[in-house]
Amino acid sequence: MPRTPASKSKRQAAGKAAAKPKRKSAGRSGAKKAAAKRPRKTARKSAPQKTAQKRWRYLVVIATLLVSFLAGYLTYLNQIIDSRFDGGAWALPSRVYARSLEIYPGLALTREQLVHELKLANYSRALSQPQAGEYRQLGASLELHSRPFQFSDQNQSSGLVQVFFNAGKVIALVDLQAGIDLSVFRLPPLILGSYYPQSGEDRLLLSEGEVPERLIATLIAVEDRAFFEHSGVSPFAILRALWANLQAGRTVQGGSTLTQQLAKNLFLTPQKSLLRKMNEAFMALLLELRFSKQAIITAYINEVFLLQQNKIAIHGFARASRMLFGRGVDRLEDEHLALLVGMVKGPSRYNPLTAPKLALERRNLVLKIMLEQGLLDQPAFATASAAALGVSSQLPGINPFPAYLDLVKHQLQISYTRDELEHRGLRVFTAFDPLLQQNLERGLARGLERFKQPELQAAVVIADYLNGDIQALIGDRVTDYPGFNRALMAQRPIGSLIKPLLLYSLLQGDLTLASEVSDEPVRIKQSNSIVWEPRNFDRKLHGNMSLYEAFIRSYNLPFISLGVKAGGLEALVDSLSKIHLLKHDVVFPSMLLGTTEMSAYEVAQMFQVIANDGYFTPLTTIRSVTDQHNKILSRIPLESHKLFDRARMIQVQRAMVGVSEQGTARYLADRFGERTIAGKTGTTNEARDSWFAGFSDRLLGVVWLGRDDNAPIRLTGSSGALRVWADIMELQGFSAFKLTPDDSLAWHYIDTHNGGISQQGCANSVLLPIPKDRIPKHRASCQ
C-alpha cells in the first residue's frame, strides 16, 4: 500500500514518542552525577541559635572596648602619677637665710643679743642640758645645742657649745662634747622668710632614711594597720567601715587606706563623688604596683595637711613639728608624736592652738592605741598622758621682715623666674643681720615716739659701703607689716642730699673747699619765660664765704649759681648717669636743689660710692644661692669699680664730716663727742620730706621720714631723720669714720669765712684737704 503523507506523519510521531523515555532516563543519570559533584547543603539554624551567636559577638566587642578604655584610662591616671610623683610631687618654697653668726672670743656680743638671735631661729629655752635646737642660761654664760646645717662649703653637724660673756663681749668659747676651747663657732643661720608657691603650701621634705620608725609605726597603728599587707585598697576595711556607718546611722569610719589617702591628697580634688572614689582606688593600686611601701609612707608623711598659718597651709610632719614644737621629727617626745598623728584625722578640729581640750583628748587616745599596739610600755604611757601639749604659744611669723624679703625677691628676679622661686626649693643666703635689724627697729620706734605724729611714715636702709651688703632695712613704721615697701618703692625728692655729688662736680674745675663763693640772689629765666627765683631754706642772704662753709650750712644760692655758671649742672648729670640714677631726659636747673626723686635704697647707693672713695659697689642683699641639694647656683662676687676721682671724693667726705661737726648735723657731735661721722641732711619744700644719710666706719645709714599723702611733717632733716639715725646708731654702736690719706692733697687750716690760709686755734679755722696745685695764696688774720 502506498504511504500517504498522513501515515508518514503518524509514524514520525510514534517514533518521537518512543524516543522520549530514553532521553528522560539519560537526564536523571546526569543529574545524579552532578549532584554527587556538588557539596551538600547544611540544615537551616533555628532563630534562638542565631540570637545567641549575635549576643556573643556583641559581648566580645563590648569587652574589647571596655578593656581598651580601661587600659587607656589607667594609662592616663599613670601619666598623672608620673607628673607629680616621679617628676617632683611638691612645689617647694624657697628659703631665705640671714647671715651666719660667727662667734669668737673678742666679739662684741651680749648674752641677751645671742638669746634674741636664738629665739628668732626657734630655739627653745631648756632647764637641763640642752638638746639640739635648745639653749640654757648659766650665770654669765650660755649653753647652746646647735642644729645640723648644710653650709655651702661644709656639712656641719649639731654641736654643744658654751659661750662666756663679760662687759658686752665674748671672752671664751668651749666645745662641751670635745672638752676643748674653740677659736670660732659658726651658728647656723635663721630662716628669714620663704617664697611660697601659689598653692600657699609650706613643707619640709624628709627622705626615706630620715623618717623615724616610731612615726611610721604610730601612723600605721592609728590610720591603717594593714598597710603592709594590702595592695592599695582593702576590701575588708571598706566592709568594716560600711557596717560601722550603717550601725551608727552616719559616717563614723572611713575605709580608705593610707595609699588611697595619698592618692586623694596628691592627685584628686576633695569633692566627694563616685568617680573620685574610683579614681582614688585605681591610683592607689597603681602606686602600690610602681612604688615601695617605704616610698609611699614617706610621701604620705610629707604630703598630709596638718596646720593652717594665716594664708599658708602647713603640710607634712617635718614642717608641722618645727612650727608647733620648734624641733625636728627625730627629736619628738611620745606625747608630741601622738599629737601630730592624732591631728591627721582633723587638723582644724584637733588644732592644739585653737582647740587645746579636743587636741589633748585626741592625743591621749592615740597614746592609748600606742600602748595597745605595743609601741609604749605602761610607764611611758603614763608619763606621756600626764604631759602638757607642749606646743608653742603662737606660731612663728611667716615673714617677720617683709621689707628686706621684698628687696631680696626683687634682686633674685634678675636671675630667677617666679616659678623657680616658688617651686624649686632654692636656698638663698643673704647679708641680713638680725641684731642690726633689732637695733634699727628699736631706734626707729624710739625716734618716732619723739615726734608724736601717727601718720608719719619711715624708710631706713643700712649697708656696709665697702662690700655692698645691705644688712638691715625697713619700709614701714610698722616694721613687720607686709605692705608698701617705701625703702624700695617710694620715690621722693631728696633735697640737699644732692649737694655732696654736686660738690664733687664743682671740684672738678678750679674750685676747692677753700674757694670763696657768694650767697646772693639768683634769677633764672626758664624756657616758658617764667623767672625762677630760688631761696635759701632760712630765706636769708649770707654774703661771701668759703665753699666749705656754704656746704656745711646747706645754703642753696651759692650752689645754684655755681651749678649754672661753672658747669656744675652738666657735671652733676654726668655723675648721676654713671651710677644709673639719672631720672630725667630733660635737665632743669631745679635739679641743683634736689628735685630729683629717689627711694631710700637708691639714695644709699649714691652715698655708697661717696663713702667708698669713689668706688662703686652694687648694693645687694644676696651672697649666694643653692638648690635644695646644696649645689651652688650663683655666688654674688664682690664688685668694685672706680667711677670717681679718689682725691676729690676725699674732699667731699671731709666736707660731710664738717656737716656733723659744725653744720646742719652738729647734733651728732653733741651726742657722740669725738667719734667722727660724715653725713648730710636733706629737707624738701614745706618740710614734706626729712632725710639724713650718714656713714661711720663701714656702716652707711639712710633715713627718710614723710607722709604718704605728701602733707607737711614740720620736720627738717636736722630735726627729724637725723635724730632717728642717731637713735639707731647709738644702739648699734659704731667706730669713727677715718679719712683716707692721698698724696695729691695737702692739709691746711683754712678760714671758713674767706678761704684764706689760717692756723690751728684761730677763730673760724678748720683743717681741710686742698689739692697741692691749688693751695690758697692769701692768708687770713688769726683772731
Active-site positions?
A: 223, 496
CA 366 vs CA 219, 304, 610: distances in Å: 9, 17, 65
The set of residues, in sequence order, having a beta carbon less than 8 Å from that of 317 and lying 6+ positions away, is: 206, 215, 301, 302, 304, 306, 329, 340
Query: How many residues does the structure list for the chain?
Result: 783
For residue 510, the tally of other CB atoms under 10 A from its CB is 10
Question: What's the gap between Cα 159 and its chain centre?
Answer: 27
Find out whether 309 and 398 touch, Cβ atoms under 8 Å: yes
DSSP of 394-445: SPPPS-S-HHHHHHHHHHHTTTS-HHHHHHB--EEEE---HHHHHHHHHHHH
3-state secondary structure of 532: strand
- Distances in Å between the Cα of 296 and the Cα atoms of 210, 232, 290, 533, 609 are 14, 10, 10, 78, 56
CA angle 342, 295, 317 (to 5 degrees): 30
Terminus-to-terminus CA distance in the chain, angstroms? 201
Torsion sign, CA atoms 742, 745, 750, 755:
negative
For the chain, count helices (H), then strands (E): 24, 33
Measured at the alpha carbon of residue 297, what is the angle toward residues 295 and 300, in degrees to the nearest 5?
A: 110
Of 712, 694, 710, residue with least CA distance to 702: 694
Specify whether the CB–CB gap between 690 and 659 falls below 8 A: no
In the numeric block, the cell 591616671 is attached to: 77
In 508-553, alpha helices (H): 547-552
Q: Rounded to whole angstroms, how far apart are CA atoms 190 and 203?
A: 17
Phi-psi region of 372 (alpha: psi -120 to 50; beta: other; left: phi over 0): alpha
Shortest CA distance to 396 belongs to which of 302, 312, 301? 312
Give whole-number Cα distances, 549 to 380, 461, 506, 654, 763, in Å: 79, 29, 15, 12, 14
Q: Quick one: cell of 565?
A: 655758671
List CB contacts of 102: < 8 A, sequence separation 6 or more. Answer: 184, 185, 186, 187
Instruction: Please state the separation of Cα 422 from the chain's center in Å.
Output: 9
Distance CA 226, CA 231 (A): 10
Distance between CA atoms of residues 328 and 147, nearest Å = 9
Dihedral of CA atoms 773, 774, 777, 780 in degrees, nearest 10, equals -130
